[in-house]
Homo-oligomer: A and B are copies of this chain.
């Protein structure tokens, strides 16, 4: 079971807004809007994606990781967690 289950609607709403922002970016390019305005909007989308990621990371750590530790299967889960944090900080 996914640890973020209680946040599903919140996450889906955020992602639906992000989808809209990406469509907005396509319109900006289509209309040849000024580069810096496009870049500012891209930075905003990245920030919004980061928030979704941090929320899932938090739920994952409170949920899956905690349970794995309780079941003495923490090592592998924590290694996996580190790898995904590594991807995220790049």
What residues of chain A have their CB less than 8 Å away from a CB belonging to chain B?
1-5, 8, 11-12, 15-16, 18-19, 22-23, 25-26, 29-30, 32-36, 38-40, 42-43, 45-47, 49-50, 52-54, 56-66, 69-70, 74-75, 78-82, 84-90
Contact = CB atoms under 8 A, between A and B. Distances in A.
A75 B62 contact: yes
- Chain multiplicity (copies): 4
Contacts of A33: 2
Contacts of A15: 22, 25-26, 29
Contacts of A78: 58, 61-62, 65-66
A82 B61 contact: yes
A18 B29 contact: no
